[in-house]
Amino acid sequence: MHRRLVGGVGELRETDVSKRAFNFCAGPAALPEAVLQRAQAELLDWNGKGLSVMEMSHRSDDYVAIAEKAEQDLRDLLAIPSNYKVLFLQGGASQQFAEIALNLLPEDGTADYIDTGIWSKKSIEEARRYGNVNVAASAKPYDYFAIPGQNEWQLTKDAAYVHYASNETIGGLQFDWIPETGDVPLVVDMSSDILSRELDVSKFGLIYAGAQKNIGPSGLVVVIVREDLLGRARSSTPTMLNYKVAADNGSMYNTPATFSWYLSGLVFEWLKEQGGVAAMEQRNRAKKELLYGAIDASSLYSNPIAVNARSWMNVPFRLADERLDKAFLAGADARGLLNLKGHRSVGGMRASIYNAVGLDGVQALVAYMAEFEKEHA
């Protein structure tokens, strides 16, 4: 038990950090407790400077050092080659859907997209507003329960790029392989699985990820882009959406989301302390094996996704009798197992088990699932 006295607006009260719940939210999602504690400790006074990180000029030496360390730690974690720029932008992955087309798709060009679910469909819809989009493969014939192998893809010769989502947060579908596209730049929405397992960045032209799953707070999107892809934006691109402008200005063409960037830096620091991405992969493998194992061994719970396409991060599951859903969620809430309700378009349950959800969280969930099944057998 760990109590401390803290001040509020016109009040004093106690925070009991032992009351932290297990949070299975799909995003904004759980953050490492150590990161929140550090942010809490520094919130009014960063490094004895007498002000909060939120109150610092983004051009001050102190803040620039915070920002640069965050970028360097991310580069270390993913072994990002030096010919890639790392951008800390705003607007989330949804803004990237347009930004990618505006920056990389010539008005008379074609981009190939792979449809594996709701998020890739959204990226396709937005890209279609800016040019010719070829859906080179779709999981639709598999009811979005499996990912078509590359032998089934109809890629365009000389496409501007090939786009896919490595993990579909809602469907719970994840690539366990990286497509081969030769000289055509590969663009990936990695919002919900970046930093969760090892990654060869050099296979990609551009990687983007909304922060609010495995990186930090919402309101930040990280873009990792190969330098030769900069400078291709069409003339109508808003200045703030032009990757080259962002790259040339160190993501500070205007004031960036300074606090989110700082907090992401704390997450990167925490990831390094944990042993980096290789260690997270090991831990995430154990977590998903435990959870899918429990689902597969049960006669109450089920997950429909093809085994090789099951997401390590977002695990949707249904109860055999959906009339039990409400009782399942109420019991989970009572045990501090929060946000297990599935997305409205899918129903059932969904456990999002990003980096910040430890094995202990999954163990608590699996124990509860077994108990609930026994009670309702």
Residue numbers 41-60 binding its own copies by CB under 8 A: 41-45, 48-52, 54-58, 60
Region near its own copies per CB under 8 A, out of 109-117, 266-274, 301-309, 310-318: 266-274
Give me the 97-136 binding string for its own copies, x by CB under 8 A, dash otherwise: xxx--x-----------------------x--xx------
Report yes or no: 293 and 316 within 8 Å, Cβ to Cβ: no
Tokens standing for 244? 């080259």
> Smallest gap, in angstroms, from Cβ of residue 275 to its own copies?
14
Dihedral class, residue 16 (left if φ above 0, else alpha if ψ from -120 to 50, else beta): beta
> Smallest gap, in angstroms, from Cβ of residue 82 to its own copies?
28
Decide: is 199 part of the binding site for its own copies (CB under 8 A). no
Q: List, by residue number, the catalytic residues.
A: 119, 189, 213
Decide: is 241 part of the binding site for its own copies (CB under 8 A). yes
Tokens standing for 296? 């597969």
Region near its own copies per CB under 8 A, out of 77-85, 152-160, 232-240, 363-371: 232-240
Report yes or no: 172 and 121 within 8 Å, Cβ to Cβ: no
Nearest by Cα to 93 from 199, 179, 267, 214? 214
- Closer residue to its own copies in complex, CB, 41/367: 41
Helix axes 325-334, 359-375, angle to 10 degrees: 130
* CA dist., res. 28 & res. 64, Å (int): 26
> Smallest gap, in angstroms, from Cβ of residue 296 to its own copies?
27
Report yes or no: 311 and 281 within 8 Å, Cβ to Cβ: no
Decide: is 250 part of the binding site for its own copies (CB under 8 A). no
Decide: is 203 part of the binding site for its own copies (CB under 8 A). no
Decide: is 90 part of the binding site for its own copies (CB under 8 A). yes
* CA dist., res. 77 & res. 294, Å (int): 31
The secondary structure element, H or E, covering residue 39 is: helix 33-42
Decide: is 254 part of the binding site for its own copies (CB under 8 A). yes
Decide: is 2 part of the binding site for its own copies (CB under 8 A). yes
Q: For residue 225, what are the β-bridge partners? A: 85, 206
- Closer residue to its own copies in complex, CB, 20/140: 20
Question: Residue ranges for the binding site for L-glutamate?
Answer: 59
> Smallest gap, in angstroms, from Cβ of residue 44 to its own copies?
5
Residue 234 identity (one-letter amino acid)? R
> Smallest gap, in angstroms, from Cβ of residue 323 to its own copies?
23
Report yes or no: 350 and 342 within 8 Å, Cβ to Cβ: yes
Give me the 138-177 binding string for its own copies, x by CB under 8 A, dash otherwise: ----------------------------------------
**What is the CA 14 to chain-centroid distance, rounded?**
32
* CA dist., res. 53 & res. 294, Å (int): 43
